[in-house]
Amino acid sequence: MWAPVWSQTPPVPVPDVVGETEAAGTATLEAAGFVVAVATAYSSVVPAGTIISQDPAAGSTPGTGATVTITVSLGEAPQPPQQDASGGWAFFFRYERARDERRRRRREQEEREEEAKRIEDETTRQIALLMREQEARDAERAELERLQALADRFSGEPLGLPASARAAILRASERRTLNALQQMRRELERMLEEEEAIGLLMIENE
């Protein structure tokens, strides 16, 4: 009596994918039933995108569904930045230029602020001057209006004033001009000065 012999499927060896592209190698491994993990590394001899190595190695039999890690080339490693041959001097010059630029900007800012302040001060001074001039014009106008009112009120009344003062008051009342009012003011001021002088003489002679 013979016993049946059961046949078993031999384990699948890991395919050799070194030298293939990442896409091609991944497709080959997955088709063989393996899970693919990808790592990367720089290489000066293996072109970028090409598989440099694999783990487990080709031909090994870790079993269906095992993970195979492939290392893919990133190409040649980038060159480190070149050291400046001048060393610390280059840093010193860069620092000096940056410092001078900061000083220039600060100086320009101060000049702009000073100019703005000067303009503001000049504007304030001009406004104050205009206000003083306006106040003087208003005071002059008020004085002329007062003189005109006096001329209109007393032009026909005998005030016992000197003839020149009475004539000036009459002209101001009739003509109603700036020149007539100014002449009236001069006559009244002259009359007041003469009265003050006479009064002082009388006091001195007492």
Q: Among 30, 47, 73, give the residue marking a domain's end.
A: 73
54 three-state secondary structure: strand
- Sign of the C-alpha dihedral computed for residues 171, 174, 177 and 182 taken in this order: positive
Same domain, 109 and 191: yes
Number of structural domains in the chain:
2
Residue 176 domain boundaries: 90-199
136 found inside a domain? yes
Q: Which two tokens stand for residue 177?
A: 């001009």
The CA dihedral of 94, 96, 100, 103, to the nearest 10 degrees, is 110
161 found inside a domain? yes
CA angle in degrees (0–180, nearest 5) for 192-197-200: 125
Angstrom CA distances, 113 to 67, 73, 99, 119, stand at: 71, 60, 21, 10
32 found inside a domain? yes
For the stretch 2-35, pLDDT in tens is: 444 444 567 889 999 999 999 999 999 999 999 9
121 found inside a domain? yes
Query: pLDDT by residue for the chain (206 residues), tens digit each?
Result: 444 444 456 788 999 999 999 999 999 999 999 999 999 999 889 999 999 999 999 999 988 889 999 999 998 888 765 555 455 566 666 767 777 888 888 888 888 888 888 887 788 888 888 888 888 888 888 888 887 887 777 777 656 777 787 788 888 888 888 888 888 888 888 877 776 555 555 545 55
Same domain, 123 and 189: yes
The CA dihedral of 27, 28, 32, 33, to the nearest 10 degrees, is -30
